[in-house]
Amino acid sequence: MQGNTPNRGADRRRDRRSQREDDRRLLNEQEELEAKTLKVTEFVSANDLASLMDVSINEVISVCLNLGMFVSINQRLDAEAITVIADEFGYDVQFISAEDETEASIDVEADEPDDLQPRAPIVTIMGHVDHGKTSLLDYIRRAKVAAGEAGGITQHIGAYSVKNSDDRMITFLDTPGHEAFTAMRARGAKVTDVVIIVIAADDSIMPQTREAINHAQVAGVPIVFAFSKIDKPGADSEKIRAELASMNMLVEEWGGKYQAQEISSKSGLGVDDLLEKVLLEAELLELKANPSRRALGTVIEASLDKGRGYVSTVLVENGTLRQGDIMLVGAHYGRIRAMTNDRGERIKEAGPATPVQILGLPGAPQAGDKFNVMETDREAREIANKREQLLREQTLRTRKHITLEEIGRRKAIGTFKELNVIVKGDVDGSVEALSDSLLQLSTEEVQVNIIHKAVGQISESDVLLASASDAVIVGFQVRPSSSARRLAEQEQIEIRLYSIIYDAINEVRDAMEGLLAPTVEEVIVGNIEVREVFKISKIGTVAGCYVTEGNIKRNNKIRIIRDFIVIHTGEISALKRFKEDVSDVKFGYECGLSIKNFNDIEVGDVIESFELKEVKRTL
């Protein structure tokens, strides 16, 4: 049809041109599709989500209101809420973590059925604040856990291995009950095989208990209910059973599928039966693992120890973890220098379902991160670097600089203020929980910005950052170094130190509300350094001390600080100069003192003396 002399070259060029156009069109369609797909992590804040979709936060909030959801600017959203909001703006959502992006490059070998051996169940204890979770664990472990927690509240995730009467092992995770620790509790539910939900028989089912039940159900984990405080007057377990039934959760006695046990952590009544029920649930799951492969598992907690560096508590889920292994977790990698079990004993290896503390990582991994043992240093470094780049990319993409519209909005409100906060804590889980709680305090007129959060003591660089950004430093169970304290006084930077999360949240809220009523404030009046320790029978431990700052009064309260971590708060029982009892000792003098109900004093400890004063608060 094109004539007698076909022009093959022109035909080929035309075909190639149309092929290129088809390819370009397909590529454009794919790019458009990808542009409409948001790659986000769960618990991203509403503000970050708005930045990623390139719409204003007000539009996101109004869409949420139309859907019946009340959200604030910095509120973290769960997966369901993110999906619904993105759908309204015509975006698809793909949930990823920095780990997911690099997961493909980690070669995880499959287990042969013949290599699998039975392993201990991992049991999480959940429930409301003060319903007796830690007391139950105390009884099981025959050791005091709550004594070491500030205000008797568990603020970290503890992991413990326990041997039952018939030599069967159970690994326990104790998760905090306070609502600020939702994310930590969610992490607890992800690594667990069986959940014990503790409900006080003299109380009722609280919001946090419902939340714990929801977490366990979402994770698809068997639940065993423990009705605690059964020997207290006013305890009524039938009322709890009725409340559970109204939530559509029938216990076995009422013809349902959930096992329940009445217990008393004081006398130990019913605790053995509870463990039997837990082991029965675990048997049904047929839990197995392969101890002869490279280890993988989850980070439970991470903290910074002055003498040892970063200490991570990890739970081995499969394989055997050995000293000298190269561990990759999040954007950190390192060789394991030392391992200790939950009782502080040095061990060389840890099998499946074993919690261990490890030294050797160059940073604090996030609680809930997965870890892998890699074959070579080079492989671990490449993946860690890649993850670090992805994390940096994520933070840069969601960082929003001030725009003219934002200035206009602030001017329209007229009284808009920002409260910049730097959060430092002793362990990663607490830092996360406190940061989230403070972010939720933001209002239309006062916005809370967490400009930096990290594990470890308050350093000079934190004070300099606070000075540059007009921030307040909040320390949780940590203390500033002496040079940082001096610099803070010089720069007039406020450092607030707390050991209970409620206090920190309430004080920040009060500061924002501008409640200028007089408040009780701690004033540090002096510091003493322990130079010598004497053990005297019938009296206990007496510390020979030197006053390095201020002056010490016998009736002031004191804190003992070891390696910048508070280990005890109490009172002085006796204060002496030579053989004379004295009421106070001034700076530069030596003295001897003993502390009420505390004998574990060591040379090098710092004793901080403080008094409570009523002062007028300023915003």
Tens of pLDDT, residue by residue over 12-67, are: 788 888 888 888 788 777 666 666 788 776 667 788 888 888 888 888 988 888 88
Strands 158-163 and 169-174 turn out to be: antiparallel
Cβ partners under 8 Å of residue 540, min gap 6: 594, 599
Residue 46 and residue 73: Cα distance in Å, rounded?
A: 6
Whose CA is closest to 187, among 150, 218, 230?
Answer: 218
Q: Which residue is it, tokens 């101890």?
A: 291
The domain 400-515 is classified under which CATH number: 3.40.50.1000, 3.55.30.10, 3.40.50.10050, 3.40.50.10860?
3.40.50.10050
At 528 the pLDDT is 92
Q: Which residue is it, tokens 């607030």?
A: 496
Residue 203 and residue 228: Cα distance in Å, rounded?
A: 10
At 144 the pLDDT is 43
At 515 the pLDDT is 42
Cβ partners under 8 Å of residue 374, min gap 6: 106, 294, 326, 327, 328, 333, 380, 383
Give the CATH architecture of domain 120-286: 3-Layer(aba) Sandwich (3.40)
At 424 the pLDDT is 92
At 475 the pLDDT is 92
**Secondary-structure breakdown of the chain: helix, strand, coil percentages, each rounded to the nearest 5:** 35, 35, 35
> In CATH terms, are 296-387 and 400-515 the same topology?
no
The domain 296-387 is classified under which CATH number: 3.40.50.2300, 2.40.30.10, 2.60.120.10, 2.30.36.70?
2.40.30.10
Residue 103 and residue 387: Cα distance in Å, rounded?
A: 10
Under DSSP, the state recorded for 109 is P
Q: Tokens representing 51?
A: 């930045």
Q: Which residue is it, tokens 């977490």?
A: 215
What does the DSSP assignment read for 408-467? HHHHHHS--EEEEEEEEESBHHHHHHHHHHHHTT--SSEEEEEEEEEES-B-HHHHHHHH
Q: Tokens representing 396?
A: 């840069």
Looking at residue 321, its amino acid is: L
For residue 198, the SS3 value is strand
Looking at residue 38, its amino acid is: L
At 619 the pLDDT is 44
pTM of structure:
0.59
- Determine whether domain 521-616 maps to CATH 3.30.1490.100: no
Query: Domain ranges in the chain?
Result: 37-96, 120-286, 296-387, 400-515, 521-616
203: left (phi over 0), alpha (psi -120 to 50) or beta: beta
At 326 the pLDDT is 92
Q: Chunked in runs of 10, what are the mean pLDDT values of the chain (619 residues)?
A: 60 81 77 72 78 87 87 79 89 73 60 80 84 81 54 59 78 68 59 87 84 79 89 85 88 86 84 87 87 87 83 89 90 91 84 89 84 89 82 61 57 66 87 86 77 87 83 89 86 86 83 61 89 88 92 90 90 90 90 90 92 68
Q: Which residue is it, tokens 């002399």?
A: 5
